[in-house]
Amino acid sequence: MRKCDLWLQNIPKEFARSNGLCKNCYEMVLKNKNGRSWPVTLRHQLLSGQVNIGCGWQAFAVANGLKEGDKFKLELIRGENELIMTFYGMFTFTFNICSHAEGIEYMHKQNLGHCHTENA
């Protein structure tokens, strides 16, 4: 994790594309392993094509003691009414779909793959 990633967490483009995350903006709930939650957004930047966890990520990172140099892996799973991202290390992300559900047809109920966010 780079220092700038404490404000905004990018999701690798290929992972986002292959899981249909490049079509919309999602309002979600982010939960750590203790069940505490933070509202966050998953945004697609039209010009760059980058997808990131935006509003709410900083509060999550600060509250959970994430710091520059931390490395982690995310696993995305599609549930009945929610997206779940498991944060390998200390935390578990649960993303509840609150709006823009039209992008969900690109996702599947099985494990969708791994999102490595080991930033250099």
**pTM (whole model) above 0.75:** no
In this prediction, residue 85 carries a pLDDT of: 62
Distance CA 70, CA 81 (A): 30
Q: Give me the amino acid identity at 91.
A: F
**Residue range of the domain that includes 20:** 3-116
Q: Quote the percentage of the chain above a pLDDT of 90.
A: 0
Quote the number of domains for the chain.
1
- What does the mean pLDDT of the chain come to? 65
CATH number at residue 24: 2.40.330
pLDDT digits (tens, 9 = 90+) for 37-49: 778 888 888 888 8
Interatomic CA distance for residues 4 and 36, integer angstroms: 24
